[in-house]
Structure 1
């Protein structure tokens, strides 16, 4: 489900579940965390295999955790992985070539640099079926794109293209080959890369905000238990 290749000073981490549009399971999340945190390289490049970057959480898994009552553990797992991506020593670059939805957007938000190709699209569709991205997305999204854009993007559930994503700041650039940009970072001083990441990202504790996110997600899962059960069949 995860393919890892160390390409010189860049570790390429590929979400490799193309038939499910790289939808995230607990096992895939754990493997992703290990691949990023254990990287021996100054730069990690995160991509998706096939036509999607990542479709978000596998809804069949959400259905199972809703049935088992283990929602909090599932949300905390996703938050932990996103936090690990954000705080790891390596600079993490997301290369979005295709669809990023829900948890896939949240993974990208946790990365240090987000690059899109013209084929990239972004959406937070959870609101259309009664959920939302609870892996830190409600904290990171307004920080990155501003409050107004964050509310429009998340409350509408609409899909935006790469150019609009760049305009609102969801991605920093639209490029032909995000991998080449990631490799270009390694021309810089490796120690300086790590120190700059640490200083720019120093925003204090998020624990209270993440606790509130867990509680809100639990309420919505409970309210939509019947609909979610259909994804587990």
Structure 2
């Protein structure tokens, strides 16, 4: 079976590349499973996550993961944290997102789940869940406000606005913006600086940040999945998916 995620090593640094450029690295179930497994089993001292081609990640593959509410029975997620999110939140390995292009929907969640974000100038960011009649995953709720403050987070979540890399840097969503051709070298240089430090101390520091700053991710994940199960059944979700596939403006009705 052809893999959706490519994994390479550069010394003590692991490079995780979403490798579905033909669909802008959209995530299907196989992609989520491979990402989860790679993060849980890596022996690297630091990870760099990026996307193949000109996109970081366009979010869920709508035709596979989100269209159940449009044409068939609505998905009923288990009341638990998304396994890929759980793996990224639980790992003691520092994760750097090298955002090489649009990071929208769960693509933005993936960037938020990293410890550090380096963005190419062509990168864009958007929490698009509201446009599909859904709520974001745990990172959009639990991490975004930590980075940009509650008011800016609320604006991004409630409007579904897509912002460019320069604005993302100004509001603190990303740590640095670099020229497109310098993205991976800059991210790898940062990863190697981290990986050169004592790994036990780095892992302890990451656990300390979780203890000091993070909510109960499992409880939040259960709330998100339960809420998504309800939102998947709404007319607004079905309209959000249909309008996206039909490339037209949606008509929401509040049901």
TM-score normalised by the chain length of structure 1: 0.89
Tell me how far apart the structure 1 counterparts of residues 224 and 215 of structure 2 sit (CA, whole Å). 17
Q: 2:57 aligns with which of 54, 57, 63?
A: 54
**Contact (CA 8 Å) 1:102, 1:132: kept in 2 or not?**
no
| Aligned-pair Cα RMSD in Å | 2.2
2:176 paired residue number:
173
Matched, 1:71 2:76: yes
1:143 paired residue number:
146
- 1:15-26 matches, within 5 Å, as 15-26=18-29
Q: 1:184 aligns with which of 161, 174, 193?
A: 193
Tell me how far apart the structure 2 counterparts of residues 190 and 154 of structure 1 sit (CA, whole Å). 36
Matched, 1:91 2:94: yes
CA apart distance, 1:231: 7.5
- 1:128-167 matches, within 5 Å, as 128-167=131-170
Identify unmatched segments of 5+ residues in structure 2.
Answer: 247-255
**Contact (CA 8 Å) 2:95, 2:114: kept in 1 or not?**
yes
**Greater Rg by CA:** 2
CA apart distance, 1:89: 2.2
**Contact (CA 8 Å) 2:60, 2:66: kept in 1 or not?**
no
Q: Deviations for 1:71-91, whole angstroms, at most 9, x for unmatched residues?
A: 314x847x2211211211211
2:216 paired residue number:
205
Q: Deviations for 1:21-59, whole angstroms, at most 9, x for unmatched residues?
A: 100111110100111111111101100001110001111
Matched, 1:10 2:13: yes
**Contact (CA 8 Å) 1:86, 1:112: kept in 2 or not?**
no
Tell me how far apart the structure 2 counterparts of residues 158 and 130 of structure 1 sit (CA, whole Å). 14
Q: Deviations for 1:142-167, whole angstroms, at most 9, x for unmatched residues?
A: 22221111011111221111121122
CA apart distance, 1:207: 3.1
**Contact (CA 8 Å) 1:97, 1:119: kept in 2 or not?**
yes
1:214 paired residue number:
225
Q: Secondary structure at the match of 2:33?
A: helix
Q: Secondary structure at the match of 1:115?
A: strand
Tell me how far apart the structure 2 counterparts of residues 70 and 130 of structure 1 sit (CA, whole Å). 14
**Contact (CA 8 Å) 1:119, 1:162: kept in 2 or not?**
yes
Q: How many residue pairs end up in the alignment?
A: 231
Q: Secondary structure at the match of 2:232?
A: helix
CA apart distance, 1:60: 1.1
Identify unmatched segments of 5+ residues in structure 1.
Answer: none
Tell me how far apart the structure 1 counterparts of residues 53 and 27 of structure 2 sit (CA, whole Å). 15
Bigger shift: 5-14 or 180-189? 180-189
**Contact (CA 8 Å) 2:9, 2:15: kept in 1 or not?**
yes
Bigger shift: 201-210 or 11-20? 201-210
Q: Secondary structure at the match of 1:222?
A: coil
